[in-house]
Structure 1
Amino acid sequence: MRVSGATTGVEKIQSSSKADLIDMRLSRCQRISESRLFRETFNAGRRHVGRYLIMWLRYADDACLKLAVIVSKKTFRRSVDRSRAKRLLRESFRLNRYRLQGKVDVILVARRYIGGVKRQ
C-alpha cells in the first residue's frame, strides 16, 4: 500500500503485513512465569551449554513451548546491556522456535559473550 506525504510529496511505503508481526510475538501464555515451572526445568530438565547462552529444556505433557529469559546483573552490570541481551535471546528464539517440536518449555540464560554479538 502506498501513501503519499501531505506536504513533501514523497511517497511512503506502509507495511500491510501486521499479521506477520502478530505471529512472531510472544504472548503472555507463551512465557514461563510460575516458579514451579522454573524449579521443574532446572531440576529435571536437559541443559545445553553454548558460547552465548545456556538452554534448559523441559519435556513434559503439560509443557507447551513456553519461554523464559534470564539475564543476571552479575553478568551484565548495566541495565541497557541486560535489555539488549534479552532482546537478542528472544529474537533468536522467535526465529528458531519452529525447530522445537512437541511439548517443551525453554529457559534461556545469557552468558557474558552475548554482549559482543553484532545483530544481523
Structure 2
Amino acid sequence: MPKEGRLLKRADFLRVYDKGRRFEGRFMTVFILPAEREIHRVGVTATKKAIGNAVMRNRTKRLLRESFRLSRVEIDAITTKYDWVLNARRSLLHVKLDKPLAELRAIAARIGSENILPANNANARE
C-alpha cells in the first residue's frame, strides 16, 4: 500500500475517531470520515488488550490490510473519499481471510448505499 494511501499520524487517527462514523462488525470496527484528499486512506490498529502479543497483533493487522486491498473495487466505487480506521477484534484471531474480507465488503456496500456523512454523529466524543 503506498504511503499516501495510509493514515500514519496519531492526529489523523484521533480525528477519524472523534468526528467520524463507526460501523461494528464481528471481526472489526470500522471508523470513517470524509477525507481531505482525493483518495481513500486506511489505518489499521490492533491493541494488546484486545488481541494479545505482537505476533497475534501483526497477523490481525495483515488480515485487515489484505481485506482492504482486496476490497478496493467496492471501496473505490464509493464516490466520497474517506479516511478509514480498521480496529481488529479478538474474533479475528481464529479466522481465515475470507470472513473479514466479506465483512469489509458488506460494510463498504452499506457505506456506498447510504452516502454516509458525519453531520449528526451520535458516536462523536465530547
Question: Which residue is 2:54 aligned to?
Answer: 79
CA distance in 2, matches of 1:99, 1:75: 28
Pair member with larger Rg: 1
CA distance in 1, matches of 2:25, 2:48: 20
Question: Which residue is 2:71 aligned to?
Answer: 96
- The answer to whether the aligner puts 1:53 opposite 2:28 as a matched pair is yes
Question: Does the aligned pair in 1 maintain the 2:67–2:97 contact within 8 Å?
Answer: no
Question: Does the aligned pair in 2 maintain the 1:63–1:105 contact within 8 Å?
Answer: no
More divergent stretch after superposition (72-81 vs 84-93): 72-81
CA distance in 2, matches of 1:92, 1:57: 16
Of Structure 1 and Structure 2, the greater strand share is in 1
Deviations for 1:53-98, whole angstroms, at most 9, x for unmatched residues?
A: 0000111443620110000011122211111101100010001122
> Which TM-score applies when normalising by structure 2?
0.69
- The answer to whether the aligner puts 1:109 opposite 2:87 as a matched pair is yes
Of Structure 1 and Structure 2, the greater helix share is in 2
CA distance in 2, matches of 1:78, 1:44: 30
Q: Which ranges of 4 or more aligned residues in structure 1 deviate by more than 6 Å?
A: none
Letter in 2 for 1:36: A
Letter in 1 for 2:67: S
Aligned-residue RMSD, C-alpha: 1.5
Aligned residues: 95
How far the C-alpha of 1:46 sits from its partner, in A, is 0.7
Question: Which residue is 2:112 aligned to?
Answer: none
CA distance in 1, matches of 2:29, 2:38: 19
Unaligned runs of 5+ in 2: 99-126
Question: Does the aligned pair in 2 maintain the 1:89–1:110 contact within 8 Å?
Answer: yes
> Which TM-score applies when normalising by structure 1?
0.72
Letter in 2 for 1:113: S
Unaligned runs of 5+ in 1: 1-25
